[in-house]
Structure formats: structure tokens, C-alpha cells
Amino acid sequence: MRYFIDTYGCQMNEYDSGLIASMMEENGCLPTEDPAEADFFFFNTCSIREKAEETAIARISKMTYYKKKRDGIKFIVTGCMAKHLGARLVERVRAIDFVIGPDNYKKIPEVLFSHPVPVIKRTLSKRIITDFNEEENYLGETAKISTPISSYITIQRGCNKHCSYCIVPYVRGPEKYRNPSDVIREVTLAAEKGVSEITLLGQTVNAYKSSDMDFADLLLKVSEVKGIHRVRFMSPHPKHYTEKLIDILLSIPQICPHAHIPLQSGSDRILKKMHRQHTLDEFMCILEKFRGKDPFYGLTTDIITGFVGEEKEDFEATLQAVKDAQFDAAFMFSYSPREGTESAKETEVLSEEEKQARLETLVELQNNITLERNKLMIGRTEEVLVERPSTKNSSEWVGKTGNFKKIIFSSNSAKPGDYILCHIDSVRGWTLRGTPTIK
Ligand code: SAH
Ligand code: SF4
Ligand code: F3S
């Protein structure tokens, strides 16, 4: 038997796909990347914006082609859209056999392997398993590693913030934290398999706490694991960048000089309406702490344009904030109302065209800033983690600097997982080009 997994959305879904893969393999199932030979199709989905759901539904519908060709194939939808749409998904795509929410993955083997009753005869309610489970932290589980170089490790699930636009708290449930010893166990196992870069994950990852540790303490512990050379984290919330955390981020060599700090909007009025719990000034103070110490510190962000009630002045405040912040890169989105959220109750005034136009203006501004920030790197020598050969030229390699920039360089001896020093020569497109130097 073979399984195929299609993953959408954030890194937390990537990690969860690794959990599902491990459970399938423990039950004797092998992975495949070719849908034509799969018996189990997993669609690990995202609900963050309407488009994310529509993309996944279109793909699942398309994949029914394989299901029609052979008997016994099962379609399982997991992830946030499973929780959000539940039975409505099966109404839209009849071929779906099971809908399993983010707290229910441990039931997958039982559901797939221990029921003699043909799926078709089972009632719909038995096929929709999406209840929240406050206790479920997947303790003791080890997610399958997707690359032998760099690994994601989830340390926090759910979210308590209830930003007014966001569906995550409704599809992932309240915040819960994995205990530190289980985190260290998984990091150690990954390191033993050759992973040297770890990214700790949570929707407000820096809010992490256990009975005796906060996020900064856990970062320290992870960076002390033998074989771990780089530590990153995603996605932090501005409110939880404490003095202690910033001090540790700036002082521990294994922690990469890159912070993702989601801005969402540059207007205090909109930040308040979004329930982001900070002002623009407080946000800028955090950036200053990093760039004051290291002007090359990598800073990235998320921004939403056309949020409900966003006036022209609010949008202009966002553009100004982006100019002031000089982010290295940004993920930028047009606001998408999500069912059940506070802001979805308000009628939108802006047309889709206007929202799109604002997004394009912002993207153009940020693209120029990204280019300028990358050009500043020319002449520096940076440590690069080698990831893979370039797809365009087999003598070239793709890697990442500590401050999270992609770099391409030529080498006859590099291999994935190596750390090499690279002199940065130029910027082509947005990408750094470098030459390896002797370490
Ligand atoms: N927990 C993270 C965000 C996770 S979602 C945080 O608080 O920063 C990733 C990004 O998607 C968000 O930062 C936001 O910019 C965007 N996003 C979330 N909901 C959205 C919506 N309804 N419409 C458009 N973008 C949205
Ligand atoms: Fe969504 Fe806000 Fe939670 Fe991030 S912090 S996941 S944006 S509710
Ligand atoms: Fe999407 Fe769920 Fe992540 S909504 S962004 S997959 S937590």
C-alpha cells in the first residue's frame, strides 16, 4: 500500500504532514510522489484565505481522476479546511472518504486500517472527525523528516489571539504547548539523522511556555543540542518579543540573525481594529533593537491590504511604515473575509479591484526595498547552508545565509548540508550570487 500527501498552507501543516507520514509508515504503508500508484490520498489543507480553500478543492476534484481508475483508493482531507468545512467538504466533492481535523491525526491508522465495513456504507458523521482535543500535543510522536538538512518542529499548537480577521483560532483551537523534554527528544533525533538546522513552529511561537521554561529558555536548550548549528522560529507575535528574548536572539551564535515580525498594517487605527495588541511605534521599537545591534539583521513581515474599514490614509500609513522598516522581505496579502471571524461580520466597502491595486502598490514598494537590502550584502562574506543543486545549472548550488537570504554559487565540491563561507559578488534578479572562500 502507498500513500501520497499534498500539503497546503503554513509550515505547521508541513510538520503535520510529517506526523501523518510517520503514522502511515508505522502501519507498513510506503510513500509515493506519483498519484497513479497511491492507495491513500491525503490533502493537508489551509483555510487562511478563501483562495487557499478553493485551490485545494479544485485539486482534490481533479485528483478524483485517479480514484475513478482503480477500486479501493481513499481520499482523506486533513488540516484547517477539514475543521472549517467538515461535512460541507463531502457535499462539494463526493469522492472524499474522510475529513480529519488537526487534533485527530492519531485516529488515522484506526480509521484506515481497522474497519472491515466498506467506507461507502459508513454514515457521514463517522467519516467526519474534527473535534478539538485540548490534550492533543502529539507527545511522543516523531514527524518524518522531509529533508536531511533542515527540519520543522512544532512546539505550540492553536492560537488564543483572535485577531479579528483570522480563522486560525477557529480551526486550530486554543493555544497549547508541547513539553520541553518532548521537543528536545525530537530535535535530538533529527540531529542524529544529520539535520543541523531546526525551525521551531507555532502560530504565536514566542508565547511558548511550560511549567519551568519560556520561549527564550527553550531556544537556548535547542541550540545546545549536539549537531544543531542553526536555530530559527516561525511565526512569532510582536507582543511576545520580550527584552529577555531579544537579548538571547542577539547573543546566541546558533540562533540565526533573522526575525519574522508580522506588521499586518502601519495604521494604529487598523492595528486596533485587528486586535493586534500593539501600536506602530511599539513595533518599530522592536525592529530598532535588532537593526541597532546589527544593520544586516534579517527582518521579514506579513502585511494585509484592504482590511475592512481601511481608508486611503490607513493604507498610506502602511506604505510609510514599510519604507521606514526596510524589511528584507514581506508576505503580502489582500484581505479575505473568513467565516466566523469578527471582521467578516462587517460589510466590505472596497472593491476587489481596489484591494488588488493596493496590494500591487505595496508589492512594488517592497520589491524595491528587498532589492536594495540585498544589494547592501555585496562585498560581505557570509556563512551559507547548502540546500540543493540549482535547477537551471548543475554546477551551481542554492543555499541560505543566516539572515535568510537565498544565494547561488558555483562549486565542484559542495554538497547539501555543508556550511561554507561565500563572498557575495552581485545580485541577479533578487537573488544573491557568491563565490566560496576557504573556511
Ligand atoms: N500567527 C501568525 C500568522 C499566521 S497566518 C501571526 O500572527 O503573524 C499568516 C498570515 O496570513 C498573517 O500574518 C496575515 O498576514 C495573513 N492573513 C491571515 N488571515 C488573513 C485574511 N483573512 N485575509 C488575508 N490575509 C490573512
Ligand atoms: Fe491568526 Fe492572530 Fe493567531 Fe496569528 S496571532 S494565528 S494572525 S489570530
Ligand atoms: Fe493555513 Fe491552518 Fe496554517 S489556516 S496558515 S494551514 S494553521
Angle at 300 between CA 298 and CA 170, to 5 degrees: 140
Under 8 Å CB-to-CB from 63, ≥6 apart: which residues?
Answer: 6, 35, 41, 43, 75
Gap from CA of 74 to ligand 1 centroid (Å): 32
Residues with CB under 6 A from ligand 2: 159, 161-163, 166, 168-169, 203-204, 237
Q: What is the pLDDT of residue 38?
A: 97
Name the closest ligand to CA 348: 1
Instruction: Tell me the pTM.
Output: 0.96
Regarding the beta carbon of 338 and ligand 1, being less than 6 Å apart is answered yes
Best residue for ligand 2 mutational test, from 168, 275, 304, 343 (most atoms within 8 Å of Cβ) = 168
Q: Do domains 150-373 and 381-437 have the same CATH topology?
A: no
Gap from CA of 310 to ligand 2 centroid (Å): 19
Name the closest ligand to CA 262: 1
Regarding the beta carbon of 46 and ligand 3, being less than 6 Å apart is answered yes
- Contact assessment for residue 423 and residue 434, using Cβ atoms and an 8 Å cutoff: yes
Best residue for ligand 3 mutational test, from 6, 11, 46 (most atoms within 8 Å of Cβ) = 46
Whose CA is closest to atom 1 on ligand 2?
166
- The dihedral built from the CA positions of residue 301, 46, 242 and 298, taken in this order, carries a sign that is negative
- Contact assessment for residue 123 and residue 142, using Cβ atoms and an 8 Å cutoff: no
Gap from CA of 166 to ligand 1 centroid (Å): 6
Cell triple for residue 299?
527582518
Q: What is the pLDDT of residue 118?
A: 57
Residue spans per domain, the chain: 2-129, 150-373, 381-437
**pLDDT tens-digit map of 143-177:** 999 888 999 999 999 999 999 999 999 999 999 99
Name the closest ligand to CA 340: 1
Regarding the beta carbon of 48 and ligand 1, being less than 6 Å apart is answered yes
> How many helices (H) does the chain have, and how many strands (E)?
14, 19
By CB atoms closer than 10 A (0-12, 13-18, 19+), residue 26 is exposed
Residue 60's nearest CA partner among 4, 128, 135, 121 is 4
Regarding the beta carbon of 56 and ligand 3, being less than 6 Å apart is answered no
Measured CA to CA, the distance from residue 79 to residue 99 in angstroms comes to 9
Measured CA to CA, the distance from residue 438 to residue 150 in angstroms comes to 24
Measured CA to CA, the distance from residue 223 to residue 229 in angstroms comes to 7
Gap from CA of 48 to ligand 1 centroid (Å): 7
Under 8 Å CB-to-CB from 87, ≥6 apart: which residues?
Answer: 99, 124, 125, 128
- The ligand 2 atom at the shortest distance from the C-alpha of residue 159 is 3
Best residue for ligand 2 mutational test, from 12, 163, 240 (most atoms within 8 Å of Cβ) = 163
- pLDDT by 10s per residue, the chain, length 439: 999 999 999 999 999 999 999 999 999 999 999 999 999 999 999 999 999 999 999 999 999 999 999 999 999 999 999 999 999 999 999 999 999 999 999 999 999 987 655 555 566 777 899 999 999 999 999 999 988 899 999 999 999 999 999 999 999 999 999 999 999 999 999 999 999 999 999 999 999 999 999 999 999 999 999 999 999 999 999 999 999 999 999 999 999 999 999 999 999 999 999 999 999 999 999 999 999 999 999 999 999 999 999 999 999 999 999 999 999 999 999 999 999 999 999 999 999 999 999 999 999 999 999 999 999 999 999 999 999 999 988 889 999 999 999 999 999 889 999 999 999 999 998 999 999 996 5
Measured between alpha carbons, how far is residue 376 from residues 60, 380, 403, 418 in Å? 44, 9, 13, 25
Fold of 150-373: pyruvate-formate lyase- activating enzyme (3.80.30)
DSSP string, 40-97: EEEEEE--SSHHHHHHHHHHHHHHHHHHHHSTT-EEEEEEHHHHHHTHHHHHH-TT--
Q: What is the pLDDT of residue 128?
A: 93
Residue found under cell 458523521: 125
Sequence letter at residue 56 = A
Regarding the beta carbon of 235 and ligand 3, being less than 6 Å apart is answered no
Sequence letter at residue 385 = L
What length does the chain have? Answer: 439
Residue found under cell 530559527: 232
Sequence letter at residue 380 = R
Whose CA is closest to atom 2 on ligand 2?
163
381-437, superfamily in CATH? Nucleic acid-binding proteins (2.40.50.140)
Cell triple for residue 22?
510517520
Q: What is the pLDDT of residue 121?
A: 54
φ, ψ of residue 10 in degrees (nearest 5): -90, 180
Q: What is the pLDDT of residue 146?
A: 81
**Four-CA torsion 120, 122, 124, 130, nearest 10 degrees:** -110
- Contact assessment for residue 75 and residue 97, using Cβ atoms and an 8 Å cutoff: yes
Q: How far apart are the first and last CA of the chain?
A: 47
Cell triple for residue 378?
555585496
Cell triple for residue 227?
549537531
CATH number for the domain running over 2-129: 3.40.50.12160
Regarding the beta carbon of 359 and ligand 1, being less than 6 Å apart is answered no
